[in-house]
Chain A
């Protein structure tokens, strides 16, 4: 779109020929400014629809830590031991998080305060992600200009401003690491490509700092530390090795590594973990390459050099393999983590680590979500690849590799569409920009040819091409038609993106909205109702047991201690909770006593039809619990391999704690007209156990739409 605006210079502007360059600059800057505003504004749907609030699960932890940081200062934050989560183990928060996001928000908050703008830290947190998304468009512009031209840069900026794959993680209120991390990721890549192109130490240094920011913000930095060496390796193999590359990579790797070690959560992983070994290997390889180059230059004898090469290579490979082998065997180099494996092999998590497989955003991506999140970019992407291959350079090789690898990862995990989005936008931008440029060149060349202009505005090559193509019939009209088609597609893209943002990606998921039978919007604010109930009605040191999804929200909004939360660092502890939920009440009571649990919180959607409730998550609790405690067996909860909650359900299912807590008193309730009482609207069945008696727990609170139910654990019986 931007390019079209650029190339269709309006008539009044065209008359001022002397100032073409300035006009172009003005246009470019104002387009970019508009894109910047657009990227920010489109992400505000959620604030308009709901309110200025933090979304989802993880953002609540980030918000809580940011609050702590802005109240207690960095030193306290760095050393924060949080006794309110993971009771009774506690969590060393300072050492187990990526502080980039919190520090960024706290600094922004301080800056605004310094400018005498009295904003609450929550507003800063809510708007951090849109702000960084807007900044990302600037980086995308610079990156596009670096790999292709400024037209492609503008298109890339426009595309990335509204691409749904990115918006899904960066709407206002989605205060998560990814919000700033994508900015950092793209910035690092841009600076690195720039360093490779220029061979300048300063750019390499800048990219090391970009990398540092990325490491401080998101665990996805592993992608950078593996993609960059892979890129270097490809350049080496394809014979594109240069001094520029040597300078850029060495500087970026060494400084980036040293800087990354300053993040407590990352620590020595760069030298000790299997995931980071590729970067180190390439680093040494580069030294060997440089050394060989130097020897070759000194020797000046092909045969002698060849034998030298053979000896050196053998030595190097042996030493490298030995070092890796000994490091791995002695445990100095840690093996790859489960998450990393599951990225390379999509079926790995399903078989080995249920806790990773249980997260919905870790599921393999469906085709529809590619279509949903990329729209026309999905077709422009291969076209862009074609253009990149046609004009191969160090920079385009990088973007091609970034695009291909991230597309693979996006296919493995839904959430990684986010990482692929910038690459897809950039490559698509190349396609769109190049196509439109060619088309407009054709049109203009045709219209100019009678005047026999030497081609002041177009390049000589394009003019020559235009002259050759003049022989083709209907070329002018075809070009106009194609241009209109492209224009149509791009506008469809803009419409689609806006629609997706407003309909699908702006829901805070803590407040649920549905359409009532008369078409009006019905708001279910049960989560907050429950958390405020906890805050107001339970003793301050009460311990709440729930499935880990709700842990962050309970600590942040309910201000109460939880047993497990979304930082799933201790599988055994989570499995204990899973075991309690899937045991009979008396067995569960013993577990809850041993964990000093005072309240149990479950999420139940049977009344409202809210499908991501605990009954639907229950099989994962069974699997995770059974993974550690073999007394819990999945087949006990299934009937002929089928998961059901009605009369035909397995007896253990009908009497386990989770079932009882979800369906307690539900048998008396008529949920839908014309259905029997106890009709579960999510599963679409009448429940199988309507007469539920609780012996060790008692109902404490149920929210107005029954979505959250809280039970109090009774003390041991007084007389027995």
Chain B
């Protein structure tokens, strides 16, 4: 008995420094977002009916706090500090939140740089609609309406009213949906929405097919539906200017165990998939929403004159300078160098005077060297890097550019030598002339 215990002790001793290193690395490799999520539910049954989705979140290290939406002790922050890093709002029919939370509190939560997944349903309350509207997504105003598609519906055992939709019109973005293509259609049953055309931060992730429309399936259509075709968005995402990400889905069932586990066959298609695309879809989009993917950071912004290392407070016109920045991407576990060939630097004063693509060493370092234009003023080094799915990189650094000092010009110009000669010779001649004139009688 003693020997194994001894061994164990030795092993522990040997592993201790390694563990410490790992812990230190873990501390250094802190992700862009925390892992505390608040899940608000209408009723706690959803916790079990959507357990697969929650399970995948927990498996990825998230710390989920399930609360009823009308919990009177509900609060998003305490002593000025937010208690959560993200919000999963699976309470489509709640008329008002409990505690100190209301629509504005949720919006402030987002404006403070936190993320949210919002799922509505055909019973969506004004509160949920209001939050969605503030995020640039307008649900169909008819409270009874659902998305109906008589062509691209999912075949089920009972011939229903074609409100179970097999959506496959997904956004083309590896960053949002992951690099593995989602083959199977995504099942959807719920209400449609349109993205606000004046809001260019919203993206349609899952759009309805051209044959879809939004109406009450139980009654006859009295007038043409207000939302039709591929203008209907089923799932949308919004990345705010502060990089807070919001996913809005018109269907809560999309996340449910039932949809995640069921097979799917699209009407008119022979091919039947064993599993719907839902599981992959919700996992990948939730990874994106909670910043496990597609988050860039720029560090070590440096600039200096060619041949020097110190950053000056001011440049002179026609100086040669070097600018460099390191850009990393969060992979979910660590910061990896971001590799792209389209990161551009502007040397900007009201308009870009220099606009150049930076070269990269593939290890995250982007650099460029250029000559300061022959214009003085207060310039900015400006990097505006906005790519689909990625967090926006936008950083500027102000730097004045001065003209030459009086002693930085050339002292003697070769082409002016005739003038030098002329002036000095005439001065000499004048002196001689005066001398002769005055003293030679």
A positions within 8 Å CB-CB of B: 78-79, 81, 83, 87-90, 92, 541, 561, 594-595, 715-720
Contact = CB atoms under 8 A, between A and B. Distances in A.
B180 interface: no
Interface stretch (B154-162, B210-218, B374-382): B374-382
B136 A720 contact: yes
B134 A78 contact: no
B379 A88 contact: yes
Interface string B234-247: 00001011101000
A90 B111 contact: no
B406 A79 contact: yes
B378 A719 contact: no
Given A715-B241, A717-B241, 20 more contacts: A78-B406, A81-B400, A83-B378, A83-B400, A87-B378, A88-B349, A88-B378, A88-B379, A89-B378, A90-B376, A90-B377, A90-B400, A90-B402, A92-B403, A594-B350, A716-B241, A718-B111, A718-B240, A718-B244, A720-B136
A594 B382 CA distance: 13
What is the interface of chain A mostly: helix, strand, loop, or mixed?
loop
Interface string B337-367: 0000000000001100000000000000000
B196 interface: yes
Contacts of A78: 406
13 contacts: A79-B402, A79-B406, A83-B378, A89-B349, A90-B377, A90-B378, A90-B401, A594-B350, A717-B241, A718-B110, A718-B241, A719-B134, A719-B199
Given A719-B136, A720-B201, A92 B406 contact: no
Contacts of B401: 90
B176 interface: no
Given A78-B406, A79-B406, A90-B400, A719 B377 contact: no
A680 to B, nearest CB: 35
Interface in B181-204: 196, 198-199, 201
Contact of A718 (B196, B242, B380, B402): B242
B411 interface: no
**Most B CB within 10 A of own CB, among A78, A83, A595, A719:** A719
B240 A719 contact: yes
Nearest to A95: B403
**Most B CB within 10 A of own CB, among A78, A83, A561:** A83
Contacts of A92: 376, 402-403
B48 interface: no
Contact of B199 (A89, A716, A720): A720
Contacts of A89: 349, 377-378
A263 B211 CA distance: 78
Contact of A88 (B241, B377, B405, B406): B377
Contacts, number: 60
A719 B244 CA distance: 9
A541 B201 contact: no
B289 interface: no
B398 A719 contact: no
Nearest to B398: A541
A90 B241 CA distance: 30
A85 to B, nearest CB: 10
A538 to B, nearest CB: 15
Nearest to A264: B406
**Considering the complex of A and B, which 9 residue pairs feature the smallest CB-CB distances, nearest first?**
A83-B400, A81-B402, A88-B378, A79-B405, A720-B199, A718-B240, A90-B377, A718-B111, A83-B378
A90 B403 CA distance: 10
B135 interface: yes
Interface residues of B, number: 30
Contact of A719 (B111, B314, B350, B379): B111
B403 A81 contact: yes
A79 B407 CA distance: 9
Nearest to B351: A594
A80 to B, nearest CB: 9
A438 to B, nearest CB: 49
Contacts of B398: 541
Interface string B86-130: 000000000000000000000100110000000000000000000
Contacts of B350: 88, 594-595
A717 B240 CA distance: 9
A545 to B, nearest CB: 14
Interface in B396-441: 398, 400-403, 405-406
B238 A719 contact: yes
Contacts of B198: 720
A92 B314 CA distance: 14
Contacts of A541: 398
Given A81-B376, A90-B377, A594-B350, A720 B196 contact: yes
B116 to A, nearest CB: 11
A271 to B, nearest CB: 15
Nearest to B200: A720
B327 to A, nearest CB: 23
Contacts of B400: 81, 83, 90
A680 B287 CA distance: 58
A717 B198 CA distance: 12
B109 to A, nearest CB: 12
Contact of B135 (A81, A87, A715, A719): A719
A89 B377 CA distance: 4
A247 to B, nearest CB: 15
Nearest to B199: A720
A561 B378 CA distance: 11
Contacts of B402: 79, 81, 90, 92
A92 B376 CA distance: 9
B114 to A, nearest CB: 12
Contacts of A716: 241
B376 A719 contact: no
Contacts of A88: 349-350, 377-380
A79 to B, nearest CB: 4
A554 B402 CA distance: 22
A409 B144 CA distance: 82
Nearest to B408: A79
Contacts of B238: 719
A416 B314 CA distance: 41
A718 B241 CA distance: 5
B27 to A, nearest CB: 30
**Most A CB within 10 A of own CB, among B198, B314, B400:** B400
A81 B376 CA distance: 9
Contact of B201 (A79, A81, A90, A719): A719
Contacts of B111: 718-719
A78 B402 CA distance: 13
A714 to B, nearest CB: 12
A78 B377 CA distance: 17
